[in-house]
Amino acid sequence: MVTFAGHKGGNSLAYSLQRSAEDADLPLVDFVNADNPAMAQKARKRSHSLRQDKAIAELPAGVEPLPIAAHQLARLPALPVAQSNVVVLGDITERSAILTDDKLGVYSEFSIHLVKIFKDDQSVLAVGGLVEASRLGGAVRFPSGRIQRYTVSRVSRQGYPQQGKVYVLFLKRDEDGDFSILTGYELGSTMVNPLDGDPRPGNDLQFGIYRGVKQELFLTELQKALRATSGGGD
């Protein structure tokens, strides 16, 4: 991500590049399509959404939605095997942002094609199948073309899986049987990159201990963590 010190002079391009990268990171929903009948059932998952004090609407020029503070990530270990109902390796086949039916919340949903299942506490998933999981927040595009980002505090630096990329994801099941993403790690060609945290010195989270680590070492550590819990792993 490009860093910036201000909005004036030589920093304007850096600021523009950063915002473009952040917008690309977030799944997007068009406000005019939010009431599409196909989205109606998903729009009722209010507990999965980043809630606002009033209905989401286009803000005045120069005004941005305030990030919402969240402490869930800070309480997790770097490999939250015990806190997860499911731990999987998979690629993201689809992602979208969804406005709740009351327009007070927005969340992002991801379709995960399952390549490997490390843990499944109910033994209901199968390699080759799909599972959907969500994260708080998302981006909303209004008819004017303006995009508003609704995110968790940048201190937490909660990331969003990218379509076409491969991740190890730690999923939590709620009382309705729906999954949310606790955290995850992108598996590149050889190295691992945490989904959450900020790589700048002094800003990273506990997940940063695996930033740039070779895949083989990371997967070995994951297997050790799995064996140390009742979830098991092969």
d(CA 126, CA 138): 29
The single-letter code of the amino acid at 30 is: D
Q: Measuring CA to CA, which residue among 104, 109, 93, 92 is closest to residue 29? A: 109
What does DSSP assign to residue 151?
-
What radius of gyration do the chain's Cα atoms show?
18
213 inside domain: no
| pLDDT tens-digit map of 52-93 | 889 999 999 989 888 776 667 778 999 999 999 999 999 999
d(CA 16, CA 4): 9
35 inside domain: yes
Query: Taking a C-beta distance cutoff of 8 angstroms, is the pair 55, 102 a contact?
Result: yes
Mean pLDDT of the chain: 84
Instruction: Work out the widest C-alpha separation in the chain, in whole angstroms.
Output: 57
Which of the pair, 80 or 157, is modelled with greater confidence? 80
Bridge-based pairing of strands 28-30 and 138-141 is parallel
Domain tally for the chain? Answer: 1
117 inside domain: yes
pLDDT, mean of residues 167-183: 94
The pLDDT value given to residue 4: 24
Q: Is the pTM of this model over 0.95?
A: no
197 inside domain: no
DSSP of 28-68: EEEGGGTT-GGGTTGGG-GGGSEE-SS---PPPTT--PPPB
| pLDDT tens-digit map of 196-218 | 988 777 778 899 999 999 999 99
Q: Examine the pLDDT at 233 and tell me if it is beyond 70.
A: no
Q: Examine the pLDDT at 30 and tell me if it is beyond 90.
A: yes
The pLDDT value given to residue 230: 67
Which of the pair, 181 or 198, is modelled with greater confidence? 181
Q: Examine the pLDDT at 5 and tell me if it is beyond 60.
A: no
94 inside domain: yes
79 inside domain: yes
d(CA 106, CA 149): 10
Handedness of CA 143, 146, 52, 29 (dihedral sign): positive
Q: Examine the pLDDT at 21 and tell me if it is beyond 50.
A: no
The pLDDT value given to residue 186: 97
40 inside domain: yes
Query: Taking a C-beta distance cutoff of 8 angstroms, is the pair 81, 87 a contact?
Result: yes
The pLDDT value given to residue 10: 38
The pLDDT value given to residue 199: 79
Cα three-residue angle 153-24-8, rounded to 5 degrees: 70
Separation of first and last alpha carbons in the chain: 36
Q: What percent of the chain has pLDDT over 90?
A: 61
Which ranges constitute the DSSP H helices of 96-179? none
Give the domain range for residue 100. 26-184
Residue that the structure tokens 């406000």 belong to: 31
The pLDDT value given to residue 45: 75
14 inside domain: no
- Look at 4-8, 47-51, 196-200 and tell me which has the smallest mean pLDDT: 4-8
Two tokens, residue 38: 């196909």
Which of the pair, 198 or 225, is modelled with greater confidence? 225
Q: Examine the pLDDT at 191 and tell me if it is beyond 80.
A: yes
Query: Taking a C-beta distance cutoff of 8 angstroms, is the pair 168, 181 a contact?
Result: no
Neighbours of 87 (CB within 10 A): 26
Tell me, what CATH number does 68's domain have? 2.40.50
d(CA 112, CA 71): 25
